[in-house]
Amino acid sequence: MSEKKSSTSTTRSNFTGKLGFVLAAAGSAVGLGNLWRFPYCAAKYGGGMFLFLYVILALTFGFSLMVAEIAIGRKTKLSAIGAFDKLKAEYYFIGVLASLVPIIITPYYSVIGGWVMKFLWMYITNPVEQIAMTNEQGLTVFEEFISSPVEPLIWFLLFLGITIFIIAIGVEKGIERSSKILMPALVLLVAVVAIYSCTLPGAIDGIKYYMMPNINDLSVKTVLSAMTQLFYSLSLAMGIMITYGSYMKKDINIETSVWQIEIFDTIIAFLAGLAIIPAVFACGSPENLKAGPSLMFIILPQVFTRMRAGRFIAILFFFLVFFAALTSSISLYETCISIIQDKFKQKRTPSIVFSLLICIIIGLLSSLGYGPLSMITFLGMQFLDLFDFISNSVLMPIVAFFTCIFVGYIIKPKTIIHEVESSGNEFKLKSLFTVVIKYIAPILIVIILIASILQAFGKISM
């Protein structure tokens, strides 16, 4: 979104047309969360069961929370902090908590963006076979890369630099316009790679693992990871959809827009999983299922070496992933700037510089955490995983919980229903919305949070 976001401005510009809103919100939603994070979470947390839970949660929880956030934004015409404050001043803190999330995510997002750029560059300058090789110590190209002290830092700073450059010279709008062509291209390309992966010999076990839920994989961890992945991927519980909603015109149907965003986002994530997980089995290395953040960078090079025109496809693929990451990081960075502007009443330039400082500090730790700082871990996590854990597994569920309480019991679901219906259409799933927001979602979040805290401290095993 390129309009200046400020809760103090009285005339807010709007997205042009119905599609404008959906495309802008989808541009923010579709990013590394779909392509990098979804496949590794699905691989790690039970394949089919993860996918099954994800879809169920998307249809109920994700839908309800997104409708609520967009409606809050459209009703108040303010971004998160101002919006909660305006509706009920005591609940101002939800906006503050929500705002912390993008401030934690943006830096490490840029670190991963840097990894993507490095791979794009490697495929431009090297033959595919070289990128799929392991060194004398058995390390993959990726493992060697992230454990080196300087190189990942340079790529991180480069990615961050590009994001800030685009924001500083104010061409985000142009970038977003190109996403109308590049996003569909991305879907197509991920589908091509997915089809190819599924036809590799040995892939069938991976397809089964990914698509068939196994009841033994049902655990609190799986539910928690599916839920947090949902927030992350749909840009929920971090104030972003409130801001988007604040720019949405009154005559646009929130309910259908939400379905469109959700379906688009979920299809891309599903295809990314299909491109990566069956290939893990086809490469004969199911131990990689637990690889976590490195999964995409270890498995895809294997797939590309086997594909005809692999190098060309790889370059195109990493370029499109880079582009999707860039549009998301612009949206994340813009959010950080507007939070600092609104909260500390700063001008735009000091806000950009301040956000940059935070990004560099958190980003440096995230990047070095895989190299020189790898001996420092918290609850068994390196810095990047730790930041991901704090934002996704702690802050987002808390924000989501309070948002549900706020909507369910303070402003009441009817406020949201009324806002949705103010565009002249009926809110078809309002009963589902009400039940989810008032009962199902808050109860589920509390159970999951308590169980995962107990588990983290070794009190119960699941």
Closest contact distance (angstroms) between CB of 170 and ligand PHE is 19
Closest contact distance (angstroms) between CB of 322 and ligand PHE is 12
Closest contact distance (angstroms) between CB of 153 and ligand PHE is 22
**Nearer of residues 219 and 259 to ligand PHE, judged by Cβ:** 259
Check if the beta carbon of residue 231 is closer than 8 Å to that of residue 47. Answer: no
**Nearer of residues 232 and 370 to ligand PHE, judged by Cβ:** 232
Alpha-carbon span 289 to 274, nearest angstrom: 13
- Contacting positions for ligand PHE (CB under 6 A): 28-29, 31-34, 232-233, 235, 238, 240, 328, 331-332
Closest contact distance (angstroms) between CB of 267 and ligand PHE is 13
Closest contact distance (angstroms) between CB of 101 and ligand PHE is 8
**Nearer of residues 28 and 382 to ligand PHE, judged by Cβ:** 28
Alpha-carbon span 330 to 3, nearest angstrom: 12
**Nearer of residues 141 and 396 to ligand PHE, judged by Cβ:** 396
54 Cβ neighbours under 8 A, 6+ residues apart = 38, 42, 226, 229, 230, 266, 269
Alpha-carbon span 309 to 304, nearest angstrom: 8
The residues with which 400 forms a beta bridge, in sequence order, are none
**Nearer of residues 238 and 339 to ligand PHE, judged by Cβ:** 238
**Nearer of residues 209 and 333 to ligand PHE, judged by Cβ:** 333
At 139, give phi and psi (nearest 5°): -85, 140
**Nearer of residues 33 and 293 to ligand PHE, judged by Cβ:** 33
Alpha-carbon span 275 to 424, nearest angstrom: 41
Dihedral sign computed on CA atoms, order 219, 222, 224, 227? negative
**Nearer of residues 231 and 281 to ligand PHE, judged by Cβ:** 231
345 Cβ neighbours under 8 A, 6+ residues apart = none
Closest contact distance (angstroms) between CB of 298 and ligand PHE is 20
> Nearest-CB residue to ligand PHE?
33
Alpha helices in 10-91 (DSSP H): 17-29, 32, 38-44, 48-57, 63-76, 80-87
**Angle CA 81–87–88, to nearest 5:** 90
DSSP category for residue 436: I
Closest contact distance (angstroms) between CB of 331 and ligand PHE is 4
Dihedral sign computed on CA atoms, order 130, 320, 325, 292? negative
Closest contact distance (angstroms) between CB of 244 and ligand PHE is 10
